[in-house]
Structure 1
């Protein structure tokens, strides 16, 4: 019976905190052929005595020094016989999210790359990243998955920046607040000291009501130009 190498891939995304957040993906530069010198997603084989989830955790820690994720889910499996020119390799990809305020101690080889300006990637990793972005953007519509990218506390302006970075379009902050409050996703914490960036009253601070992934509105759709969406 034929046996094939089975590896896991991780698309780890993070949005820099602030009103002009940019969504970035964590990659590393390959040292060996095939594709030596090119950027690639963290990846590695699944050992006979571990689950795929354990393999993802192990490779992220050993290759990049990343110890934890706020959210992780399986994306899909890639089985094109030509995807790895070195040997027949089947890959199962995972989406991972890191909060903007997480304190990270990554290895020097780790690189954060803007998803809107991806360089040439090794293997089929650009397709994997595109799939992860599509999944993330879809889930912003009907779940609370934004909690995994947001800091513990935030202003609505900074949260809007994260939404815009993830969704790829402008978001009305008033509509965003209304929708998230209606869904019970966020709650007010307090008020920042001092006035806002444009003067006036100090902005309120908020937090997500849960740091566990939840489907909050299965029939919603987020998109530009819709009155009932963000």
Structure 2
């Protein structure tokens, strides 16, 4: 009986272990992911998540932070967490590779310097991606969307200080649907996640009350309402 492709791959020895990062940022009203364009086959010219092989002397989080700093100049993520392990035998051609994927977040007012082959792309309109990296990107967005409901993870997407209008734009970009500013402020304030700074932005050219500046009370991840779920607005009619 002939061997299956899966068996043939397994016979080649232990799987390689790589780490990958879905680095996300809210920018100009959309959620973007950081990708680099491959120059060599397989999947030449396709776009890939940053990362690489796990070294024998490092754990997976140390590895992804090192590789982001070395390859795409992301030295300091505002938040990083392990996302999932992707281990389908055929997820990459050739020798089997298991990937430990991470979710990384960059504040909206930070624009890391990246190499010429690296760029931010809208998550909802990605270019042709390599391997299973589009699937990993969607998993990263799903994790972020879920955590925006029940934690204060918005701190990792927002500047240190912001108006409620700016925060509404960030949440809308990350969730993929419009969020009401007054409802967002009410929910986050009730949970103790949001605090006024006592300062305001300059009034616009049309005058009016200067918008107040807010900050996240705790610039570190915490569960604020374990049973909360943000939902898109329902249509009428």
CA distance in 2, matches of 1:153, 1:63: 29
Give the equivalent residue in structure 1 for 2:71.
Answer: 63
The reply to whether residue 185 of structure 1 matches residue 228 of structure 2 is no
Distance 1:4 1:225, change over 3 A: same
CA distance in 2, matches of 1:177, 1:99: 19
- TM-score, scaled relative to structure 2: 0.89
1:46 to 54, 58, 62: 54
Distance 1:132 1:63, change over 3 A: same
- TM-score, scaled relative to structure 1: 0.92
What are the superposed Cα offsets for residues 50-98 of structure 1, whole Å, 9 maximum, x if unpaired?
1001110111112211111111111111111111113211111000000
Structure 2: gaps (5+ residues): 1-10
CA distance in 2, matches of 1:31, 1:64: 15
Distance 1:90 1:198, change over 3 A: farther
Give the equivalent residue in structure 1 for 2:159.
Answer: 151
Give the equivalent residue in structure 2 for 1:212.
Answer: 220
Give the equivalent residue in structure 1 for 2:26.
Answer: 15
Counterpart secondary structure, 1:178: helix
Distance 1:198 1:116, change over 3 A: farther
What are the superposed Cα offsets for residues 188-220 of structure 1, whole Å, 9 maximum, x if unpaired?
113435324764111000000111100010011
Check conservation: 1:22, 1:114, Cα contact below 8 A. Answer: yes
Structure 1 residue runs of 4+, over 4 Å off?
A: none
Cα RMSD for the two superposed structures: 1.6
Greater radius of gyration (CA): 2
Check conservation: 1:196, 1:203, Cα contact below 8 A. Answer: no
Deviation larger for 60-69 or 103-112? 103-112
Alignment map for 1:132-151 (pairs within 5 Å): 132-151=140-159
Check conservation: 1:30, 1:40, Cα contact below 8 A. Answer: yes
CA distance in 2, matches of 1:82, 1:208: 43
Give the equivalent residue in structure 2 for 1:165.
Answer: 173
Distance 1:206 1:82, change over 3 A: same
Give the equivalent residue in structure 1 for 2:5.
Answer: none
